[in-house]
């Protein structure tokens, strides 16, 4: 009877737990020795918030590597019999699994730290402002656990609440324990410093205010350093794209010359190398640099999806335009477009038009939204500064807002007048502000106005609290301005790189594939082969210019959507340069 109950309980276990149990049963002792003497992973699991026993985790790593051994064996056999060298990638799969298991907690800890780093200055300002109103930091953490605008901080706050309210740990010990397990140094110093101040009986309000200012200053220094690294990353990407593209273009052109007859040059199989490089390797390289930039940039929980939706719709139109302009890739003959092709409408121009149509509308929308967002953020900064001064006259926060609604704050003026009107109708201030937060898409504006609402809700919006909030917001604005000024000089580099790439590629084609005339006065290749080579190479240049624009937007403005306008402009520049340069340069 007992055996049947155990069997039923075992069957109730999810598959993942069965895998964990079997792994620990097979490799538990080895995992314990590995964890204690070779690679301690307990702290990494805690910092990465991987909720699993460390010996079990190591056991799963060994078991997964053991299961993958047959794949390696099959890969070795296939390489021996087929001599297909790419299959060698199957051989080190067990090693890849071990490395992945060992570094996955570190990667999760890095993601956790990067999420907290963006929110930490505002969380520190929130706790400091709440403390000036008499609210204890633990109570502030409880309130933060319900704030959707700071998802990373809300998770940390819920962990602290769980230790206190479920496990019975006192709040001070819970904060100290949270500091030990957190991968972000700023968060550690903030919590441990607060606990030390309470223990020695220091001035908690003064400590929190000074610490919040230090966090903002530290973030400013990190933003400057990140801007410099992003500039170097953009330089590296452009150098790699331009130099590598030129090297491959020369190799592919020389390979075409040595490939055989002139008629072979008119076949797409002759250009399989450059096609694979253009449409497979360079997109993967661009994605790698986008990921590197994304990992170096601060992340916000609010992402505006409208430009991406417009890009998806415009891409469908762009594909249709490409099919029409090329007579469905030269498979049919449409009268109007056949005439346009006879006038000089070739594949590079058609692809440039399609890429421009797919990115230009989204780029325009993003430019308008970015301009409105910048105006809104500047208006909120000025509003908080004026609110501090008007509050010193003794007016209530509601009356202060009504008084300031007649001033000009850019894009925020319209919203402020609406807020003032709703308050005059008797709607509670908190509800009015929350409705405004749902309307705006700027995370910076949302978080600042949320802090203002909490300041008024908790402490009545005293002069000291509002002034502290205004000072923190001014520091944030200065940091953002310095970041934009640091990256701005690099924005011209993609345009110069695109012109350089087109010019050098066009001249290289004349030397290597015989677009010019030889010393004997005879063309080096047939006209059809020259036309095919010119079309393939220039199309590749146009597409690479498009990718340069996308990556440049991501690196310089922290958004792929910002790269749409650069991509559209660079595509147009590439096509114009490709058509004009041969007129002025005689090869």
Tell whether 428 is covered by a domain.
Answer: no
Are 74 and 119 in a shared domain?
A: no
Residue 62 to residues 49, 100, 113, 451: CA-CA distances in angstroms?
21, 12, 28, 49
Residue that finishes a domain, picked among 42, 76, 106: 106
For residue 546, what pLDDT is reported? Answer: 92
Tell whether 80 is covered by a domain.
Answer: yes
Residue 439, judged by CB atoms within 10 A of its CB (0-12, 13-18, 19+), counts as: exposed
Query: How many structural domains compose the chain?
Result: 2
For residue 364, what pLDDT is reported? Answer: 92
Rounded CA separation 361/508 (Å): 34
Tell whether 269 is covered by a domain.
Answer: no
Tell whether 123 is covered by a domain.
Answer: yes
The owner of tokens 């910048």 is: 374
For residue 526, what pLDDT is reported? Answer: 56
Are 74 and 139 in a shared domain?
A: no
Spans of the chain, pLDDT less than 70: 1-13, 84-86, 256-271, 337-338, 341-342, 344, 459-465, 511-531, 585-587
The domain containing residue 58 runs over which residues? 16-106
Q: What is the 3-state secondary structure (H, E, C) of 299-342?
A: CCCCCCCHHHHHHHHHHHHHHHHHHHHCHHHHCCCCHHHHHHHH
Q: What is the pTM of this model?
A: 0.76
Tell whether 544 is covered by a domain.
Answer: no
Tell whether 212 is covered by a domain.
Answer: yes
Strand, coil or helix: 523: strand
Rounded CA separation 374/484 (Å): 12
Are 215 and 188 in a shared domain?
A: yes
For residue 523, what pLDDT is reported? Answer: 45
For residue 509, what pLDDT is reported? Answer: 73
For residue 31, what pLDDT is reported? Answer: 79
Strand, coil or helix: 517: strand
Per-residue pLDDT tens digits for 168-193: 888 888 888 888 888 888 888 888 88
Per the CB < 8 A criterion, the answer to whether 122 and 452 are in contact is no
For residue 359, what pLDDT is reported? Answer: 92
Are 123 and 215 in a shared domain?
A: yes
Are 99 and 126 in a shared domain?
A: no
Residue 24, judged by CB atoms within 10 A of its CB (0-12, 13-18, 19+), counts as: buried
Per-residue pLDDT tens digits for 387-417: 888 888 777 778 888 888 888 888 888 888 8
If phi > 0 it is left, if psi is from -120 to 50 it is alpha, else beta; for residue 304 that is: beta
Tell whether 425 is covered by a domain.
Answer: no
């Amino acid at each position: 009877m007992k055996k049947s109950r155990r069997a039923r309980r075992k069957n109730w276990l999810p598959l993942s737990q069965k895998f964990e149990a079997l792994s620990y049963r097979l490799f538990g002792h080895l995992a314990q020795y590995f964890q204690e003497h070779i690679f301690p992973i307990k702290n990494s699991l805690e910092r990465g918030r991987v909720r699993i026993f460390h010996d079990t985790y190591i056991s799963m790593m060994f078991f997964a590597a053991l299961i993958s051994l047959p794949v390696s064996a099959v890969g070795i056999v296939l390489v021996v019999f087929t001599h297909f060298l790419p299959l060698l990638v199957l051989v080190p799969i067990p090693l890849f699994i071990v490395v992945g298991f060992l570094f996955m907690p570190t990667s999760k800890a890095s993601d956790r730290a990067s999420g907290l780093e963006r929110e930490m200055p505002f969380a520190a300002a929130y706790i400091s402002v709440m403390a000036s109103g008499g609210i204890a930091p633990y109570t502030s953490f409880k309130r933060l656990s319900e704030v959707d605008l700071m998802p990373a901080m809300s998770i940390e706050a819920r962990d602290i609440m769980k230790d206190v309210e479920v496990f019975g740990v006192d709040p001070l010990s819970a904060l100290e324990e949270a500091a030990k397990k957190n991968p972000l140094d700023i968060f550690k110093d903030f919590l441990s410093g607060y606990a030390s101040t309470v223990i020695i009986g220091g001035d908690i309000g003064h400590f929190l205010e000074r610490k919040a200012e230090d966090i903002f200053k530290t973030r400013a220094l990190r933003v400057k350093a990140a801007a410099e690294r992003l500039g170097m990353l953009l330089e590296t990407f452009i150098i790699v794209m331009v130099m590598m593209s030129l090297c491959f273009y020369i190799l592919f052109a020389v390979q075409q010359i040595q490939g055989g007859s002139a008629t072979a040059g008119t076949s797409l199989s002759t250009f399989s190398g450059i096609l694979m490089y253009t449409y497979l390797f360079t997109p993967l390289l661009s994605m790698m640099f986008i990921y590197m930039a994304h990992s170096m940039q601060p992340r916000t929980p609010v992402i505006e999806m409208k430009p991406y939706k417009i890009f998806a719709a415009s891409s469908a139109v762009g594909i249709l335009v490409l099919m029409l302009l090329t007579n469905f890739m030269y498979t049919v003959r449409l009268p109007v477009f056949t005439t346009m092709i006879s006038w000089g409408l070739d594949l590079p121009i058609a692809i440039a038009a399609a890429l421009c149509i797919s990115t230009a509308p989204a780029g325009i929308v993003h430019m308008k939204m970015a301009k409105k967002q910048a105006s809104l953020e500047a208006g909120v900064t000025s509003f908080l500064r004026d609110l501090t001064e008007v509050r010193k006259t003794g007016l209530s926060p509601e009356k202060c807002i009504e008084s300031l609604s007649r001033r000009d704050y850019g894009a925020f003026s319209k919203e402020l007048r609406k807020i003032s009107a709703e308050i005059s109708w008797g709607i509670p201030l908190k509800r009015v502000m929350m409705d405004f937060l749902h309307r705006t898409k700027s995370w910076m504006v949302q978080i600042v106005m949320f802090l203002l609402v909490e300041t008024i809700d908790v402490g009545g919006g005293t002069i000291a609290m509002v002034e502290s909030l205004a000072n923190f917001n001014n520091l944030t604005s200065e940091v953002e301005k310095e970041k934009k000024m640091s990256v701005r000089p690099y924005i011209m580099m993609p345009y110069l790189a695109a012109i350089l790439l087109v010019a050098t590629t066009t001249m290289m084609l004349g030397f290597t594939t015989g677009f010019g005339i030889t010393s004997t006065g005879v063309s080096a290749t047939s006209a059809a082969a020259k036309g095919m080579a010119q079309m393939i190479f220039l199309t590749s240049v146009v597409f690479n210019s498009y990718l340069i624009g996308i990556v440049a937007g991501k690196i310089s403005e922290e958004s792929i959507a910002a790269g749409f306008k650069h991509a559209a402009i660079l595509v147009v520049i590439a096509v114009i340069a490709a058509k004009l340069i041969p007129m002025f340069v005689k090869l």
